[in-house]
Amino acid sequence: DQQVKQNSPSLSVQEGRISILNCDYTNSMFDYFLWYKKYPAEGPTFLISISSIKDKNEDGRFTVFLNKSAKHLSLHIVPSQPGDSAVYFCAARRNQAGTALIFGKGTTLSVSS
Amino acid sequence: NAGVMQNPRHLVRRRGQEARLRCSPMKGHSHVYWYRQLPEEGLKFMVYLQKENIIDESGMPKERFSAEFPKEGPSILRIQQVVRGDSAAYFCASSPPTGTYEQYFGPGTRLTVT
């Protein structure tokens, strides 16, 4: 019973174009969503987050959109750069402080120059 | 400001041996989480600890696995009598006591059971 789903295992984008990574969730108790980026043999690095009371959060080249009615969120990277090539994980948190993050299986983004 | 530290980075154990994984949280962080990542999978929550307390161990296998976060020193994840299925990357994360829901991850320990 995967509560957080990233249905695209991989995505290829050209440098300078937009990358859109998608994530769906099933648990309506989730109140906070996060995106992490992971390079091989390293730990996940926090990128950006969004509270369930918002529908958009922006930080530089990264924007996360949340559609609560569809239980869907997406991460937009504009413009994409070769250094963005990594595995991106979507994660969700239940509405209690300090509880576990539930991760999707990740999407591997490849940005070609 | 040092990040989350984990050691060792790589650990090889034979079946039946014990594995001890260590995690030092970021300075000022009092919450520690352990996650496990199997090949081709996302990270799976194992246990959440505060100093001297296990808060949530709902993701921890019932046998052979234990965790602690003593008053002094790092958090320890201990796996007794390891089996081949325990081979995975084990990540520790930490967060401050209040004000944010983000968790900051260490580089992980890659456990190989031969």
Considering only A62-71, A88-97, B20-29, B72-81, which range has the smallest mean pLDDT?
Answer: A88-97
Q: Contact, A94 vs A63, CB < 8 A? A: no
pLDDT of residue A12: 98
pLDDT tens readout for residues A81-113? 999 999 999 999 976 655 789 999 999 999 999
User: Can you tell me the mean pLDDT for B64-79?
Assistant: 96
Whether residue A101 and residue B44 make contact (CB cut-off 8 A), yes or no, is no
Whether residue B101 and residue A46 make contact (CB cut-off 8 A), yes or no, is no
Question: pLDDT band at B96, cuts 50/70/90?
Answer: confident
Cα atoms in the 13 Å half-sphere on the side-chain side of A24? 9
Whether residue A42 and residue B107 make contact (CB cut-off 8 A), yes or no, is yes
Which residues of chain A are within 8 Å of residue B105 when distances are taken between CB atoms?
Answer: 36, 43-46
> Residue type for A101, please?
L
Residue A89 Cα, gap to closest chain B Cα (Å): 8
Q: Which residue among B31, B58, B104 places its CB closest to the CB of A98? A: B31
Q: Does B28 touch chain A (CB under 8 A)?
A: no
Please say if the pLDDT value at position A59 is more than 70: yes
Q: Does B2 touch chain A (CB under 8 A)?
A: no
The residue among A95 and B89 whose pLDDT is bigger is B89
pLDDT tens readout for residues A3-41? 999 999 999 999 999 999 999 999 888 989 999 999 998
CB atoms within 10 A of CB B114: 10
Q: Does B84 touch chain A (CB under 8 A)?
A: no
Q: What is the distance between the alpha carbons of residues A62 and A66, in angstroms, rounded to a whole number?
A: 13
Which residues of chain B are within 8 Å of residue A4 when distances are taken between CB atoms?
Answer: 42
